[in-house]
Amino acid sequence: MIRYNFGIRFETSLTAYKKLSDSSYTVLRNANISLPALHHQREPLLQHALGAISFGAAVPKGLSADTPLLHVSMPILSGDMACELWLGNAATATEQHGNIRYRRNEDLLLGIIELHEDATATTSLQQATESAYRQIFALLDKLGFPSVYRFWNYMADINAVSNGLERYRQFNLGRQDAFLACGRDVAGELPSACALGLAEGPLQVAFLAGRIPAQAIENPRQVNAYAYPEDYGPRSPTFSRASLLQLPAGEVLFISGTASIVGHRTLHPHDVSGQTRETLANIEAVILEANRVTDHRRFDPAQLFYRVYVRHAADMPVIRDELCRLTGKHANAVFLHADICREDLLLEIEATAFSCALTSMDGQ
Ligand code: 3EB
């Protein structure tokens, strides 16, 4: 199964995508694709791939060896679209900068970095994070792609404590130090992000950046993450609830990992239905805020692609049923088994939405 996310509806053929990407407009779309479908793709699609993020036990085949691919070995609980391809106008060959592999076109860049932690250091995750983010910002400064739209962060043992500090909090320290060292704001206009844990492996970060700025969208129901009080760690997380990228061919809304947090507190501990409903209320609030900001365009919860991170595999059906209540019937979603960055959070949901200005290509 392939779903080209066109906002208006999910396309299952390449034609509409090709029409869009051959235009002189800057185009950014994603396609969520199953591994068998990816395996049977041929060039036109893959030439437009800036990069990919995949999940599950199997590493995708069928991407050219050249395409930056972040493979995160989180078990898939449900949904077959394990690979998220990011498609733009024709891209360059993949390039390397330090530990980063990236591909870009005139306007957009997708990069991935994987760093093993120094097993002898007690603050190894903090160090790896600072190093990864410093490398990323140095590359973007060098190439003139100043704006990051989205970060994906995956790390081993996110809730474990070392050197007296939970590893997610170490990650926040390293991330914020790198932002500051590279002259970046740590409040206000921040990229969207997610941060999840898995059993083992290196720190893995993917990022999507570009030449034009995006707009940070915050959630009126939540304290902005960069302003969390110190109870949640010595440094606040550096991300916005969503980022809105306005391109001539349509808008892209990157909704950050979203959880059952109101104000800055976790609600409904030990209650997975309650947490799911609260999480979805937060996502709806973010969508409403994005619609308010864009004024004339409409993002619709039924038209989003969702990735759902589930702490306890047995909770998946309950979460899926709540999500389907929001989206109407079938939700375009993949469910992954992951650790969430607060011990008391049972799930986190992220989403991507598109509003398409070039509606004329739709249905042709
Ligand atoms: C939260 O709202 C839940 O540290 O980059 C969500 C999305 C969360 C991104 C991050 C953390 C991050 O605080 C956790």
pLDDT in tens, 216-230: 999 999 999 999 999
Identify the weakest region by mean pLDDT among 167-171, 341-345, 354-358: 354-358
* Measured distance CA(216)–CA(325) in Å, rounded: 28
pLDDT surpassing 60 at residue 5: no
* Distance from the alpha carbon of residue 238 to the mean position of ligand 1, in angstroms: 9
CB of 51 within 6 A of ligand 1: the answer is no
pLDDT at 10 over 80: no
The atom number, within ligand 1, closest to the CA of 171 reads 4
Q: From the CB of 257, is ligand 1 less than 6 Å away?
A: yes
Residue 359: pLDDT band with limits 50, 70, 90: very low
Q: How confident is the model at residue 360 (pLDDT cuts 50, 70, 90)?
A: very low
**Residue 348 pLDDT more than 80?**
yes
Q: Is the pLDDT of residue 251 over 50?
A: yes
Distance of CA 356 to the CA centre of its chain: 20
Q: Which residue has the higher pLDDT, 188 or 302?
A: 188
Opening angle at CA 252, ends 248 and 258, nearest 5: 165
Lowest-confidence pick of 42-46, 262-266, 303-307: 42-46
Question: What is the predicted pLDDT for the residue at 81?
Answer: 85
Bridge partners of 83?
Answer: 33, 54
State yes or no: pLDDT of 113 exceeds 70: yes
Query: What's the chain's average pLDDT?
Result: 89
Q: Are strands 305-310 and 333-337 parallel, antiparallel or unpaired?
A: parallel
Read off the pLDDT of each residue in 249-264 and give the average, rounded to a whole number: 94
Stretch 157-161: mean pLDDT, rounded?
Answer: 96
Cα–Cα–Cα angle for 110, 123, 224, rounded to 5 degrees: 55
- Minimum mean pLDDT range among 122-136, 240-254, 311-325: 240-254
Q: CB–CB of 192/256 below 8 Å?
A: yes
CA–centroid distance, 308 to ligand 1, in Å, is 13
Amino acid at site 217 = I
Looking at residue 176, what is its pLDDT?
A: 98
45 CA to centre of ligand 1 in angstroms:
32
Ligand 1 mean position, distance from CA 136 (Å): 19
Please provide the DSSP assignment of 62-96 as one string. Answer: SS-TTS-EEEE-PPEEE-S--EEEEEESS----EE
Q: How confident is the model at residue 32 (pLDDT cuts 50, 70, 90)?
A: confident
pLDDT tier for residue 249 given thresholds of 50, 70 and 90: confident
Higher pLDDT, 91 or 323: 323
| Ligand 1 atom closest to residue 350's alpha carbon, by position in its atom list | 7
Q: Are 151 and 256 in contact (CB under 8 A)?
A: no
Q: Which residue CA neighbors atom 9 of ligand 1 most closely?
A: 194
Which segment of 104-108, 234-238, 341-345 scores lowest on mean pLDDT? Answer: 104-108
Asked whether the whole model's pTM tops 0.85, one would answer: yes
Q: Which of 57, 52, 55, 81 is nearest to 67 (CA)?
A: 52
pLDDT value for 34: 86
- Does ligand 1 have an atom closer than 6 angstroms to the CB of 154? no
Is the CB of 133 inside a 6 Å radius of any atom of ligand 1? no
Residue 24: pLDDT band (50, 70, 90) is low
Report, as an integer, the average pLDDT of 201-220.
97
CB of residue 205 inside a 6 A radius of ligand 1 = no
| Rounded average pLDDT over 61-67 | 81
11 is known as an active-site residue: no
261 within ligand 1 shell (Cβ under 6 A): yes
Distance 15 CA to ligand 1 centre (A): 36
Confidence class for position 20, pLDDT limits 50, 70, 90: low
pLDDT of res. 315: 98
* pLDDT attached to residue 327: 87
In this predicted structure, the answer to whether residue 361 has a pLDDT above a threshold of 80 is no
Q: How confident is the model at residue 303 (pLDDT cuts 50, 70, 90)?
A: confident
Q: Mean pLDDT across the stretch 284-289?
A: 96
Q: How many other C-beta atoms can be found within 10 angstroms of the C-beta atom of residue 89?
A: 20
